Amino acid sequence: MELNRVPITDTFAEAFPMSASRLIVTAATADWARIAAAAATGYAASVIGCDAEAGVERELTPHDTPDGRPGVSMLFFAFSRDALQKALVNRVAQCVLTCATTAAFNGLAGDAGKSIRVGGQLRYFGDGWQISKQLHGVRYWRIPTMDGEFLCEDSFGTTKGVAGGNLIFLGDTQSNTLAAAERAVAVIRRRSNVILPFPGGVVRSGSKVGSKYKALRASTNHAYCPTLRGVVESELPEGVNAVYEIVIDGLTLADVEAAMWAGMAAAVEGPGLKRITAGNYGGKLGPHHIHLRKLWEGR
């Protein structure tokens, strides 16, 4: 397989199910909404070491938000609804409630039996002065703050999302390979229902399961490290001197697949890219196997 003369390895990305939720934060200005979103999605790159995987989905105009103010939509993923609730409550409490002028809303319709409580947990910060309001069947909490009040929806919907979709770019130089990854990130970020949880959407520290050190659940993917080419069984062809990965989480498998194809098509539109592949663990980690050949044939 080739795409714009760049070889594509006949392999698959191994993805797995996680519980997902969408948080919409609004504020008096777009800048304050962005500040809250940046804080709320911080330290959320991988559930290997974080309480959740999270990222900004898109910015919202006042026409798109529940209260007619500028906003940001974010997606959060965790291994279970309980873990997702804990992560969301903590992040909204520390990063949104504390941020000037913000309000927080559920952005995902879902089965009432699969909802998680966010505002319903944060209400206690009001120290008895909080007020509950119900509008059109939706419960909100109004919590007094020093600049007025913090409005937060009581419950947030959840769904069974897909995490771990990935692409690995092999290139001739660090700058060319990073540029390819950045092109992929730019087009994927235009899509709804997906996020790229790592910093800037790009991963330099691809990992493998396990380590020589028993305490570590994951360690550097030595087969893709250029500096180790001469001392390990390397996966790097001649002329490859840098590797970057992008990881994609989405609300459905179709969302992740479409984002992966868009990223592949964008990545090859520049010099220096030598190969595109994907990361898997022999099919043992997750039930979703996204074959690059299938994406290529269905383009």
Predicted local distance difference test score (pLDDT) of residue 281: 83
CA distance 195 to 240: 28
- pTM comes to 0.95
Does residue 106 sit in helix, strand or coil? strand
User: 120, 77 in Cβ contact below 8 A?
Assistant: no
Cβ within 8 Å of residue 82, ≥6 positions away: none
Predicted local distance difference test score (pLDDT) of residue 112: 64
Predicted local distance difference test score (pLDDT) of residue 247: 98
Quick: pLDDT tens for 27-79.
999 999 999 999 999 999 999 999 999 999 999 999 999 999 999 999 999 99
Predicted local distance difference test score (pLDDT) of residue 62: 98
Q: What residue ranges define each of the domains in the chain, with the CATH number in brackets?
A: 2-14+162-297 (3.30.70.520), 18-159 (3.30.70.520)
The tokens for 271 are 């010099």
**Banded model confidence at residue 236, pLDDT cuts 50, 70, 90:** very high
